[in-house]
Amino acid sequence: MGTVSMVLVSHSLRLAEGVRELAAQMTQGKVKIAVAGGTADGRLGTDATAILSAIEGVRGPEGVLILVDLGSAVLSTQVAMEQLSNSGGRVLLSNAPFVEGAVIAAVEASIDSDLDAVAAAALGAREMEKVT
């Protein structure tokens, strides 16, 4: 059995790379995590073409979970997903929190859980209390 991959979509490439670094350290690099952030000319924003490339770069038979930072990243990701071929594993867009969801999803993926379990774990991050 393989490992679910992930794509982190942010308006800021540096933010996406930082979240990837955190998740990768927590999983000792076992999970493929691609990032798509910013525009082609280096400004803040999202780019459906870059998102599509990131998905295709890590997509395998076990599937891909995508996490996004802000609302318009959802729209760009949906445009990218519409352009995907039918070959390869399923691709899911998560409504999980960006940082916590990415870390928890990566940990779940690192123990070879399936895509639905990884997606559920990411969503579970919404219930985490940071301060009591």
Residue-wise pLDDT tens for the chain (132 aa)?
679 999 999 999 999 999 999 999 999 989 999 999 999 999 999 999 999 999 999 999 999 999 999 989 999 999 999 999 988 899 999 999 999 999 999 999 999 999 999 999 999 999 988 898
Helix, strand or coil for residue 9?
strand
- How high is the pLDDT of residue 87? 85
Q: What is the C-alpha to C-alpha distance for residues 36 and 34, in angstroms, rounded to an integer?
A: 7
Question: Would you call 124 exposed, middle or buried from its count of C-beta atoms within 10 A (0-12, 13-18, 19+)?
Answer: middle
- How high is the pLDDT of residue 8? 99
Global pTM?
0.96
Q: What is the C-alpha to C-alpha distance for residues 132 and 77, in angstroms, rounded to an integer?
A: 34
Domains and CATH numbers, the chain: 5-127 (3.40.50.510)
75 belongs to the catalytic site: no
- How high is the pLDDT of residue 1? 60
Active-site residue, selected from the candidate residues 4, 8, 11, 80: 11
Strands (DSSP E) found in 38-132: 64-68, 91-93
∠ CA 99-83-32, nearest 5°, is: 40
